[in-house]
Amino acid sequence: MSQKYDVVVIGAGPGGYVAAIRAAQLGLKTACIEKYVGKDGKQALGGTCLNVGCIPSKALLDSSWKYHEAKEGFKVHGIDVKGVNMDVPAMVERKDKIVKQLTGGVAALFKANGVTSIEGHGKLLAGKKVEVTAPDGNVTVIDAENVILASGSVPINIPPAPLTDDIIVDSTGALEFSTVPKKLGVIGAGVIGLELGSVWRRLGAEVVVFEALDSFLSLADEQVAKEAMKTFTKQGLQVRLGARVTGTEIKRKQVTVSFTDAEGEQQLTFDKLIVAVGRRPYTENLLASDCGVDLDERGMVYVDDYCATSVPGVYAVGDMVRGPMLAHKSSEEGVMVAERIAGHKAAMNYDLIPSVIYTHPEIAWVGKNEKQLKAEGVEFNVGVFPFAASGRAMAANDTGGFVKMIADAKTDRVLGVHVIGPSAAELVQQGAIAMEFGTSAEDLGMMVFSHPTLSEAMHEAALAVNGHAIHVANRKKR
């Protein structure tokens, strides 16, 4: 006799494990299936984000930035440090400890909330049955009232740059370098490419980033993207736009990359090459042919605004469905689905999902940018405040970038917040909260912000929208 659950979740990443925990909290008998195995050979919960994505990359970003600061940035504070060296294996080991602590934390949360954790590969069958293939090959079938698909995504591979064990790697392999490559190539100037390129550039690698598009950070505000390009160039990242990789060849433990750009066909040789051209939904052997779930032309599971698939009682969340591939988007979808299964009228505001790039300076935005609003014919006002005018940023010797706020010209309602600079990821969340509650720029300008803080830049940008900034010259109204 097969087991029966109210909710069965396939995948224990940010969407899946959060959905499972919330469902259990709501009194639903819940199981979560995960097949991923960590470095220790044991099941590791948390998905790409905790194991080989968001968390480990931030650990390396922070470690590499502290090294850079000790080597280059302490002198201005009167701190003289000599003989600074980076122990790369120790840095990677620290990253691994953080990963293990967090993935173990998810297991503890499952236990605390009564979620049954099942190790193996999950496959949706017809009739909301889920087939589980254990690591030893044993197959069982679970009955479910509701199924949540949360199998996530995997890196996209490209024919011109087939992966190898240690020279041509994807984002996962780039987290495991044991030494700093003298020359590093990165294919893709998106979030992953820029973050990983930044890590190894800070540690001394000569880094070239190939971007096939002619524009840089096309999803970001154009003013922010322009500032970012200027800053990264100053940091030593060589970003080549309009550079399409056509082939690779490995000789003597180096890789020669052939590419075409405005100057024609060219070649460059590297010690390592990271392929970071994006991710695709992972649906391999996930859906039986008769299960009834539909995929769209991009291979994503088709869902409605509430993440319901074409089969009643079957849902899908996270990277395998429409929308940005972001861990926080996945988690909130998981919560929404769990609550809707439990009978609550939960919904999610897809217009206010923040995006963050954890380079230094950080880049973050939420809502609409100028280009989008112009295309929609919306009249707007803009307020910008540079961190160069922030006392707190000056004290920290971190004055690059700015806060930019966009508000409706008629209603003054905040439509977008774009930040490049220190703590951008934290500051943009203030904008997201304000926008969720329909706040106007004037409302934010009337609030009292503590001094001295980086948050004051948000306050001044709000004041600048209507020409009322105090600590920077106001723009003339258009």
For residues 190 and 183, the answer to whether their CB atoms sit within 8 Å is: no
Q: What is the pLDDT of residue 3?
A: 79
Range of the domain at 217: 168-277
Is 340 inside a domain boundary?
A: yes
- SS3 label, residue 355: strand
Residues 41 and 141 in one domain: yes
The alpha helices in 299-437, defined as continuous H runs, are 327-341, 370-375, 391-395, 424-436
Is 224 inside a domain boundary?
A: yes
Q: If phi over 0 gives left and psi between -120 and 50 gives alpha, with beta otherwise, what is residue 217?
A: left
Is 163 inside a domain boundary?
A: no
What gap in Å lies between CA 457 and CA 402, rounded to an integer?
A: 8
Residues 269 and 286 in one domain: no
Tokens standing for residue 471: 């600590």
Question: What would the mean pLDDT of 238-253 be, rounded to a whole number?
Answer: 97
Q: What is the pLDDT of the chain when averaged over all its residues?
A: 96
**Domain finish residue from 225, 258, 277:** 277
Q: What is the pLDDT of residue 297?
A: 87
**Domain finish residue from 351, 385, 408:** 351
User: What domain count does the chain have?
Assistant: 3
> pLDDT confidence of 443, banded at 50, 70, 90?
very high
Percent of the chain having pLDDT more than 90? 97
Question: What would the mean pLDDT of 441-449 be, rounded to a whole number?
Answer: 97
- Residue pLDDT, tens place only, 310-344: 999 999 999 999 999 999 999 999 999 999 999 99
Question: What would the mean pLDDT of 414-424 be, rounded to a whole number?
Answer: 98
What gap in Å lies between CA 175 and CA 283, rounded to an integer?
A: 24
Residues 223 and 315 in one domain: no
How many CA atoms, within 13 angstroms, populate the side-chain half-sphere of residue 72? 12
Residues 311 and 376 in one domain: no
Is 402 inside a domain boundary?
A: yes
CATH of the domain at 383: 3.30.390.30
Residues 11 and 143 in one domain: yes
Residues 265 and 393 in one domain: no
**Domain finish residue from 277, 305, 331:** 277
Residues 147 and 290 in one domain: yes
- Residue pLDDT, tens place only, 123-182: 999 999 999 999 999 999 999 999 999 999 999 999 999 999 999 999 999 999 999 999
Q: What is the pLDDT of residue 475?
A: 79
Residues 292 and 260 in one domain: no
Residues 136 and 14 in one domain: yes
Q: Is residue 1 pLDDT above 50, yes or no?
A: no
Residues 388 and 268 in one domain: no
Active site residues: 451
Residues 137 and 285 in one domain: yes
Can you give the pTM of this predicted structure? 0.95
CATH of the domain at 33: 3.50.50.60
Question: What would the mean pLDDT of 12-22 be, rounded to a whole number?
Answer: 98
Q: Which of these, 116, 110, 107, 118, lies nearest to 33 by C-alpha position?
A: 118
Q: What is the pLDDT of residue 310?
A: 94
